[in-house]
A and B are shown apart, each in its own frame.
Chain A
Amino acid sequence: MSERLEDFSLGKTTQPKGSIQKVGVIGCGAMGQEISVLLSQSGIEIAFIDISDERIESVMKRIERQLDVRISKWGLTNSEKRLILSRISGSTNYDTIKDCDIVIETVNTKRKGTSLELRQDIFKKIEAVVRPEAVITSNTATLMISEIASVLQSPERAIGLHFFSPVEKIKVIEAVRSLYTSDETYAMVSKLALLIGKRLIEVNESAGNVSTRMLVPLINEACEILMEGVATVADIDVIMKETSGLQLGPFEMTDKIGVDKVLKWMENLYAEFGESKYKPSPILKRMVRSNLVGRRVGEGFYLYSGSTRIPKQGSVIRLGRI
């Protein structure tokens, strides 16, 4: 019946080589969602993979809710929202990422211990479906990209790409080359960074890169100060924000990242370096055991009611509870 535009192609432009049209996101938690929105906003199609249809539905709902919040704060229009959503689709099937130019692994495991095997397993699954020139990246903060990529047939296509939350605002991405990473792979992620208006900062492979290694001792020291009774959670946060130009204080940050995630970083760094500055503070362990893991459960160092942060009044012995 009707003719298609494809019938009028001159065959000059197929998919331009090295262009970035579609990106896969594996594990669409908070970070995966932020990355998906940012990329989609830059005109890139997103295929994300998550563990179940229910989860995919909830991810799409969350993304939509976040975009609605941005509209209500004037940052976005309704048509832009529709545009962003139209480029994002989720699936449980890895086949949907087979035509991706770059795949970003952003899984967030709640399991105890290392998530190395999980990420390696994902890397293998990605490599099994994507084109030979596709780049595979991990958003890991504390694991070594060389080790994750060692299971690949072509480890030169892998690179660490560490985004920071809020992805929309923070202008830098840490790029971590493994021993194998090729120049083509690096060029490809450089292009991605350019497309989304970020600056890529290349760091040498080391657990925690720069950001997490600096952050972890800061949080540990803040816990130490809290345990000594020098100042309250809120006061420590205010002092650090005002004097060090931080956007969030150490406790606000921990709640936002997730106390469990911070603890995991510390355990990984402590295992890697064996230095006491990375040894997790007992407060963090107690909080994780009590599931006071921060904003996403409504309680961490602070209580949360919607988007409002409420300081807790109790003693540190009771983790702030009265």
Chain B
Amino acid sequence: MKIIVLNCGSSSIKYQLFELPSQRVLAKGLVDKIGLKGSMIKHWRDDQTEVKLEGEILDHQIGIEYLLGVLTSEKYGSIKKLEEIDAVGHRVVHAGEMFNGSVYISPEVITALEECIELAPLHNPPNLKGIYSITKLLPSVPQVGVFDTAFHQTMPNYVYLYGIPYSLYEKYKIRRYGFHGTSHRYVSKRAAGMLDTPLHNLKMITCHLGNGASIAAIKNGQSLDTSMGMTPIEGLMMGTRTGDLDIGAFLQIINKEELDISVANTLVNKHSGMLGVSGVSSDMRDVEHAAEAGNERAKVTLEMYYYRIKKYIGAYAAAMGGVDVIVFTGGVGENDAATRSRSTSDMQFMGVEIDEDKNKSVRGKEAIISSETSKARVMVIPTNEELVIAQDTYDIVLKL
């Protein structure tokens, strides 16, 4: 079965063409700068053909049409005609309380997802654009939605409720949902597989550290807690998001700077985090370079970043009554040895100890980086959300 996986962002689309059940990636690429100057598709095929094609991509539908055109083209294609595409799997950020697993996208599901726009106003609209476009371009091809929030639907109510009047939860579904669920799910499964231990026997803490970042406590294979909340703002300090912030402080900022809601939203989502504190960049590498060059604000930014991860690891170990495995994934988690080292330092008391040499040698590949004597295993596992989406799509379409 040939399955296209789409991850539609506001101005880009990541795509992969999978062959299932072999899980072979036939082609992948990026539709970039949609609606902007310099829009293009970067395409890769499994025979290592790489090509960058430029042209005008005004919207998501045109971008998807071009990527289908490239996939079926004689020169760069992996398939001969569109009819060979058996299904399309979409990454969808927010499904609220609607779905606790991946689903076949019916008109009713689309309506339900449209209702979730309020919960993820930045992410769900482009995800939906991808779904609308495929509905138009490949009307007879089944589509599956795989949700970032679904994996965390196992969180118990004492974890997902906020300490606010209960009526607000009932009226507006204000509660914690968590994100990066597909990634946490993938790396936790993969870690169990690598350790040859059943997931349901493990207490795991998975750290997805990218530009957005979240940590999850996964007990017996189920998400018990995660650091992001109703929105991706809560939890760890991120590239441009605040992470945890005292609401009293936030109210004070709104009052002093006379901000309206949309501006306040931009402040905490786009001007804060590493960028806001360091004044240098939202990119970990830039902040590290600045810190090495003696920039004091960059230094404190890094300390804050490590400390918050550490705090959550401690909290989740307490919540689960211990920890057997800590996994690092995401751009920073997979590549940045300093983050892995500093956020797990001085944790021998809870059985966590990193082998610094191993740690330093690992970039972007699967590895165990804890020392021989460490009771808990510390691992690096590159995430592969696309594969999870392809696999879920395959499983669902088979049953149709």
Contacts and interface: CB of A to CB of B under 8 A. Distances in A.
Contacts of A86: 36-37
Contacts of B260: 169
A169 B373 CA distance: 61
Given A4-B54, A8-B53, A77 B271 contact: yes
Interface string B18-52: 00000000000000000111001100000000010
A29 interface: no
A76 B137 contact: no
Contact of A10 (B36, B57, B69): B69
Contacts of B68: 10
A9 interface: yes
A5 B37 contact: no
B267 interface: yes
> How many of chain A's residues touch chain B, expressed as a range?
20 to 34
A217 interface: no
Contacts, number: 68
A13 interface: yes
A6 B51 CA distance: 15
A9 B53 CA distance: 12
Interface in B229-288: 257, 259-260, 262-264, 266-267, 270-271
B103 interface: no
Contacts of B137: 10, 12-13
A3 B266 contact: no
B65 interface: yes
A110 interface: no
Given A2-B54, A75-B263, A8 B62 contact: no
Nearest to B51: A3
A5 B57 contact: yes
Given A2-B54, A4-B55, A8-B69, A83 B61 contact: no
Interface in A259-288: none
Contact of B270 (A4, A15, A77, A169): A77
Most-contacted residue by chain A among B40, B55, B72, B82 (CB, 10 A): B55
For chain B, give the interface size range: 35 or more
Nearest to A76: B266
B115 interface: no
Contacts of B66: 5, 8-9
A5 B54 contact: yes
A21 B62 CA distance: 12
Contacts of B53: 2-5, 8
A5 B56 contact: yes
Given A4-B54, A21-B58, A43-B35, A74 B69 contact: no
A73 B263 CA distance: 8
Contacts of A13: 61-62, 65, 136-137
Contacts of B262: 75
B70 interface: yes
Contacts of B55: 4-6
A10 B65 contact: yes
Contacts of A83: 36
B263 A8 contact: no
A16 B266 CA distance: 32
B257 A74 contact: yes
B345 interface: no
B308 to A, nearest CB: 22
Interface in A1-48: 2-6, 8-10, 12-13, 15-16, 21, 43
Given A74-B263, A77-B266, A9 B36 contact: no
B73 interface: yes
A70 B289 CA distance: 30
Contacts of A10: 65, 68-69, 72, 82, 137
A315 B309 CA distance: 65
Nearest to B275: A77
- 7 tightest A-B CB contacts, nearest first: A5-B55, A8-B69, A74-B267, A75-B263, A5-B53, A4-B55, A77-B270
Interface of B: 35-37, 40-41, 51, 53-59, 61-62, 65-66, 68-70, 72-73, 82, 136-137, 257, 259-260, 262-264, 266-267, 270-271
15 contacts: A2-B53, A3-B51, A5-B55, A5-B56, A12-B65, A13-B61, A13-B137, A73-B259, A73-B263, A74-B263, A74-B271, A75-B262, A77-B266, A77-B271, A86-B36
